[in-house]
Amino acid sequence: MLLFDGTCGFCDGVVQFLLARDSRRFLRFAPLQSPVGRTLLAEHGLPVTDDPDSMVYIEAGRARTRSDAALAVARRLDGAWPLLGAFRIVPRFVRDAAYRLIARNRHRWFSRLDACRVPDAADRDRFLA
């Protein structure tokens, strides 16, 4: 389960990117702001906020955030994307600094959505809200 900022244009683009590269349909999605997202955050001891600063990837009962989440998601994608796992050798504080830079500026560099996008019929079963 990937929890993402549902009002972030960049995050929406990332979700669309992931949908196109997950032919096994392994990934499921929910906006952080949704009831499902808020419940999962609370269950994993993560802050429930209206202004999230990280995506959260939950797999096998473990929640990962920031660069750890991104690398874990890449493992599930088609093609060469799982090779990004090699970046685990980079210390987390360095990876997370780059992640925070993008997260802090994502609304300025990319659009902000008024509401979470409604998935099309082909992908609706992959979203929980």
Residue 111: what pLDDT? 74
What is the reported pLDDT for 100? 93
pLDDT confidence tier of residue 51, bands split at 50, 70 and 90: confident
Spell out a b/e string for 17-47, using b for 16 or more CB atoms within 10 Å of the CB, else e: ebbeebeeeebebbbbbbebbbebbeeeebe
Q: Where are the alpha helices (DSSP H) in 34-79?
A: 35-43, 66-74
Q: Using CA atoms, how far apart are residues 111 and 8, in angstroms rounded to an integer? A: 7
- What percentage of the chain's residues is helix, strand, coil (to nearest 5)? 45, 15, 40
In this prediction, residues 33-53 reach a mean pLDDT of 91
pLDDT digits (tens, 9 = 90+) for 78-98: 999 999 999 999 999 999 999
Q: What is the pLDDT of residue 58?
A: 97
Report residue 3 as tokens. Answer: 């929890």
If one compares 78 and 50, the residue with the highest pLDDT of the two is 78
Give Cα 11 distance to the centre of its chain. 7
The pLDDT of residue 34 is above 80: yes
Residue 73 class from Cβ within 10 Å (0-12 exposed, 13-18 middle, 19+ buried)? buried
pLDDT score, position 36: 95
Would you state the pLDDT for residue 7?
84
